[in-house]
Amino acid sequence: MDQGLPEHQSFAHSRRHRNPGRVPVRRDDGASRIPERFCQTIELSEAISGGTGDAMKTQKQSRVTFGLVVIAVSAVCFWSGLATAQVAGATLSGLVTDSSQAAIANATVTTKNLATGEARVVQTNGEGFYSVPNLLPGSYDVSVAAKQFTTTLQRGIVLTVGAQQALNISLKPGKVSEVVEVMSTPPDVQTATSAVSSTVDSRTVRELPLNGRDWTTLATLEPGVLSVPNQATTSFNANKGNRGFGNQLTDSGHRPNENSYRLNGLTINDYSNAAPGGATGLNLGVDSVQEFSVITTGYTAEYGRTSGAVINAITKSGTNKFHGTGFFFDRDSVFDARNYFDGSKIAPFRRIQFGGSGGGPIIKDRTFIFANYEGFRQSLSSSGTIHVPDAGSRAAAVPSIQPYLALWPVAPASAPDNGAGVQTMDVNVKTIANENYFMTRLDHKISSADAIAGSYFIDSGPQSQADPLGNTVHQVFSRRQMGSFEETHVFGSAAVNTLRLGLNRALGKINDPVSGDAVAKNAALAIAPGATAPPQIPVPGLTTAFGLGGFNRFNHAWNSAQVADDAFLTRGTHALKIGFYFENMQYNVLERLSPNGRMSTYHTLNDFLTNTPDQLNALAPGGSHEVGFREKLFAGYIQDDWRARSNLTLNLGLRYEMTTRPTDANKVPGYTVAGYTVATAGFQEITSLSNCTQSPTACGPVGVDSPILHNPTTKNFEPRVGLAWDPFKNGKTAVRAGFGMFDVLPLPYEFGLNTAATAPFQIIGAAKGATLGSGINPDVNFNPLHIRNRFIDTQPKRADVLNWNFNIQRQLAENLTMTVGYVGSRSIHLSAASDDVNLVQPTAVTGVGLVFPCDPTAAIAAGGTCANQQTGTRIDPNWGGGAGIRPVLFDGASSYNAFQGQLKKSFSQGLQGQVSYTFGKCRDLSSAPVTGDTFLNSIAVPLMLIKSARLGECDFDIRHVLSGTFMWDLPSMKNSGSLLSTLTGGWQLGTIVTAMSGAPFTVTAGDGNDPLGTGFNGDFSMDFASLLPGCNPVHRGVNYLNTNCFTPPTAPASLAPATTANPFGCAPSSFPAFAGTAPSGTQFCSNVLGNTRRNQFSGPGLTAVDFSIFKNTKIPAISETFNVQFRAELFNVLNHTNFLSPGFLNTFGQNNSVVDFDGSSLPTALNQTSTTSRQIQLGLKLIW
């Protein structure tokens, strides 16, 4: 890093030149006078100094300005398909001066990669400035030579992925043959860039305890980056696979789908634009990753296709020495502690991960190869609880229901009974996973000016899982592939160009049926047209039952072809980058919701036992068609990293990127049934929700060529500005600030699930009054006005994001650096989705809040309760029937403000570590672009058209996050005998510590009706409960939520009863299961939205410590580097119980409400943990 100059030697104080504002130039022809100072051959601490100073202002400034214009115009004209750069290499730059701080022109700067021997040679320009871009991350020796000066050799400069590192060199008079060797490490302070970033180096990737060996989890060691514990897991509910299999990370208030994951400079985001990962949810291949950087905010114009974090990884390469690993890791429940909910026995668990890696030269100093394989095998049983009918309920069931009761296992007589016909029993749900990962890379140096590299990886495998009732087994399958090619050409000291080509492919197949028991395959229990097994049967208070093949099924196929080019130019003290990027996206998605049909809805357990549902929702035979989205991305950038002064770097950039409107390549045919057209051919959707009338054709779907009719990206110019200032000119302090505009592009993932679930791509009808046990129902109504359709805002505005930051970095001691700063962001016009928008809309009543209309003459429940679909007029009463209208709006917004800090110790004296802390707050209107969002605490059916009801903390708003890690090579007894030295030497300790406050949740309430009128899925609820004044709703421990603090929605006692003339009055309800009374001066009103709000409460916090101990034993008899490493890794070593928040109790399909008032209340106690109990992993690794 920039070592800087003492104040008395700064360029601003140089007075012996006519123009003190310019750098005195010393050329290597000896024309300038050499100061008469003694030259030492070897000097360690004084060999590097100096900055670039006011000297950077030269006579060439006007030419540089003109050059910027020419370059920008040329870039637009020559590279017509411009886009984001995909820079993966590091850039080393700086100033070469003499001992009087005069710049030395034409000095030769040579960088040599110590692993591959590759050398790059550049010359300093007239300002003494040099820049060596796109260097492969690793350790380098840097030598600087000029006539009449001794050669300076700086050893052990470590360059990291994507880094911009400053290194200023001061030469002393003498002979070129004399070498000044510098061994000291520059300060770990970023004086050349305003980007807030950190690098997870190869040692950290290789040595820290990783649960599942997923390298992306290490990104959470950085401030602002968070893996939220309430994200979905891979299971039969499909939430995980549809929203990305990988570990979903949030960064500084940004959604997970706003992050960019890159490997070797190209994007590897999957079809959901989320974190890459296999069916297990893991990102394998840790032994193939050299290192990766996490750039959280303030990044410059070469980074794009994102507004969140950039996780930028680079794979290992072969070197001049053969090197590799062989490994075997074993996890077994016999070593594990009991989970809090395991009962008397620990759930069986076995996992092995095995494989090896190796690389070396094919031709020394020229051609290298590297390859890695990892196998993953797992059998995991997860403890949980299910809810089944008790003996009394079974006896009370009508004959037509009796055969279906076999779908629920009979609980032991000793199992807890809630007194309302439901027993709770513990189960172990078994999953089996087999995954294989392979990667290879080839590097070849064609000449001193040309080098190429190619890489390929594939990660593939299934995971099968039994349903919680034990009737069926379904499977999730994932395959990811990425092939890339890179060519770098050096045109001289001032110009380098890198071209990259790549193809990223991802396949996800979710919930394919594997096997089932007799009742799950019983065709006699089928009811939906074309079905051969029982339907999905959701019952309040019971775990949802399914027949074989009855889970929602999805197929996702993603292809992303990418072309990127980056040109690096040096002009004066301007390090310029110009680049373009083109991406051709293909996303095919097929969705089959409840292929066996779905009974919708039983409002109570008694409704089920008496076989009185509202209706059957059923998929039409042949009514599912694949959507083939096609979209292209074009963009480009120009970036100027300008050394304005010796201690000031300005990062100035401009990016432009646009996408085409997504279209459907498959041209889905129309669908006709019973003599009328259900859906016409081609892409169609509802385009307006306004001015709907009683006309059957009002607000109906129309044919369109794209989900959006207006392209909001055509003016996406994104300025980026930042500065890095070294106030003391010694490289030990950096004051940095940055501001930039970014865009959330309307990519296919924003429309995929919404479109594939609705007509004409999926035809779902309804049969009113259909009952179980009656055989295949021929009366399912596929009338166009009763099938599920979609509404998409066809005129979206630009979804832009503003990110800003201010931070200070300071070297406190050698190898110890502290960073403190402020990070903020603002986003508008983000996409937001839900399961239904065709709801009865409430009206704001002064002094009351939101009130749904209720006409008691239409009520069907005792006490005048407004029942499901009876609360008033929907937005379009003629459309959607019981199937709903799925919306995609572009009115989302969010804000984030945070303090972020980090204390980091680089590796020295056997010790390395860091501590990061974030205190932030995030608020938004919606936390994801897909219905249900990435997290389990989201609300599936919010009041989309009323922003005040949607506003709240982000689903990932966790206020306090502390993470820390250290690695320590224990000292050994070096002077003891060989045996004792072997026994005491080679020990390593490592740990990862995580502590965070709880995730937010919403206290939703159910009372047996649905005042929002969602209809097609009655167990979705956004009915807020009311909180009693002065009552503390939060306990600690397993009984976390004090449900006594919550009541059904209340309104002032002065609110008059609802009447035909005044439908916005109070609709009372008896709430037979609720024993409480309304607070003084209030009354219960079932048609009032409760006084709580979205994500108002915070769940339990999380504390986890992962610990590792390694024993390294060198075996020189085999080779000097051969090492046998025994590893013991303990996850959650303190065995701390971390409970999952309330609101996530519906994992096995129970009602979505947190508190119920109809006699089917969920348990008030928490029933899941967010982390494992203490688990031990043993490993053996051979390293050479």
Predicted confidence at residue 1014, as pLDDT, reads 44
Of 288, 317, 346, the residue at which a domain comes to its end is 317
Same domain, 239 and 176: no
Same domain, 296 and 213: yes
Predicted confidence at residue 153, as pLDDT, reads 94
Predicted confidence at residue 54, as pLDDT, reads 38
The residues that bridge with 902 in the sheet, in sequence order, are 819, 916
Same domain, 200 and 292: yes
Same domain, 201 and 310: yes
pLDDT confidence band for 977 (50 / 70 / 90): low
The Cα–Cα gap between 1168 and 1164 comes to 12
Q: What angle do CA 484, 291, 187 make, to 5 degrees?
A: 130
Residue environment code for 634-662, b if the CB has 16+ CB neighbours within 10 A, otherwise e: bbbbbbbbbbbbbbbbbbbbbbbbbbbbb
Question: Nearest Cα to 738, choosing from 657, 800, 651?
Answer: 651
1017-1061 pLDDT, tens digit per residue, is: 444 556 788 899 999 988 888 888 887 888 888 999 999 988 878
Q: Which of these ranges, 25-29, 736-740, 830-834, has the smallest mean pLDDT?
A: 25-29
For residue 1073, being part of any structural domain is answered with no
Count structural domains, the chain: 2
For residue 135, being part of any structural domain is answered with yes
Mean pLDDT, residues 980-996: 91
Tokens 């605490």 -> residue: 937
Predicted confidence at residue 571, as pLDDT, reads 92
Judged against a pLDDT cut of 70, whether residue 869 lies above it is answered with no
Same domain, 206 and 311: yes
Q: What percent of the chain has pLDDT over 90?
A: 59
Of 182, 206, 230, the residue at which a domain comes to its end is 182
Same domain, 203 and 287: yes
Question: Nearest Cα to 313, choosing from 199, 403, 433?
Answer: 199
Put residue 773 in one of left, alpha, beta given phi > 0 → left and psi -120 to 50 → alpha.
Answer: left
Same domain, 99 and 156: yes
Alpha helices of 111-254 — where are they, by DSSP H? 202-207, 239-242
pLDDT confidence band for 250 (50 / 70 / 90): very high
End-to-end CA distance of the chain: 31
C-alpha R_g of the chain: 32
Predicted confidence at residue 856, as pLDDT, reads 62
Average pLDDT, the chain: 85
The 3-state secondary structure of 739-766 reads EEEEECCCCCHHHHHHHHCCCCCEEEEE
Do 1004 and 980 form a contact (C-beta atoms < 8 A)?
no
CATH number at residue 109: 2.60.40.1120
227-236 pLDDT, tens digit per residue, is: 988 777 766 5
Of 261, 289, 317, the residue at which a domain comes to its end is 317
419-454 pLDDT, tens digit per residue, is: 989 999 988 889 999 999 999 999 999 999 999 999
Predicted confidence at residue 74, as pLDDT, reads 40
For residue 131, being part of any structural domain is answered with yes
Same domain, 200 and 290: yes
Q: DSSP letters of 543-556?
A: PPB--TT-S-EEEE
For residue 132, being part of any structural domain is answered with yes
For residue 80, being part of any structural domain is answered with no
The 3-state secondary structure of 765-777 reads EEEECCCCCCCCC
Mean pLDDT, residues 667-694: 74
The Cα–Cα gap between 911 and 207 comes to 13
227: domain range? Answer: 196-317
Torsion of CA 726, 731, 737, 738, to 10 degrees: 120
Is pTM beyond 0.85? Reply is: yes
Residues with Cβ within 8 Å of 74's Cβ and at least 6 positions away in sequence, in order, are: none
Task: Please state, as a whole number, how many other Cβ atoms lie within 10 Å of the Cβ of residue 858.
Answer: 14
For residue 32, being part of any structural domain is answered with no
Predicted confidence at residue 1002, as pLDDT, reads 86
Predicted confidence at residue 758, as pLDDT, reads 86
The pair of three-digit structure tokens given for residue 974, joined into one six-digit string: 């070096």
Same domain, 263 and 306: yes
Predicted confidence at residue 709, as pLDDT, reads 94
CATH number at residue 214: 2.170.130.10
Do 487 and 252 form a contact (C-beta atoms < 8 A)?
no
Helix (H, G, I), strand (E, B) or coil at 459: strand
For residue 169, being part of any structural domain is answered with yes
Predicted confidence at residue 830, as pLDDT, reads 97
Residues with Cβ within 8 Å of 899's Cβ and at least 6 positions away in sequence, in order, are: 820, 821, 822, 917, 918, 919, 920
The Cα–Cα gap between 563 and 648 comes to 34
Question: Nearest Cα to 789, choosing from 841, 830, 837?
Answer: 837
**pLDDT top residue among 938 and 640:** 640
Predicted confidence at residue 975, as pLDDT, reads 64
Same domain, 270 and 174: no
528-575 pLDDT, tens digit per residue, is: 999 999 999 999 889 999 999 999 999 999 999 999 999 999 999 999
Same domain, 203 and 289: yes
Predicted confidence at residue 838, as pLDDT, reads 80
For residue 313, being part of any structural domain is answered with yes
The pair of three-digit structure tokens given for residue 988, joined into one six-digit string: 């390593």
Mean pLDDT, residues 280-300: 93
255-276 pLDDT, tens digit per residue, is: 999 999 999 999 999 999 989 9
Predicted confidence at residue 1177, as pLDDT, reads 97
The Cα–Cα gap between 139 and 288 comes to 18
C-alpha pair distances (Å), 751 with each of 525, 886, 950: 35, 11, 21
Q: What percent of the chain has pLDDT over 70?
A: 84
Same domain, 222 and 253: yes
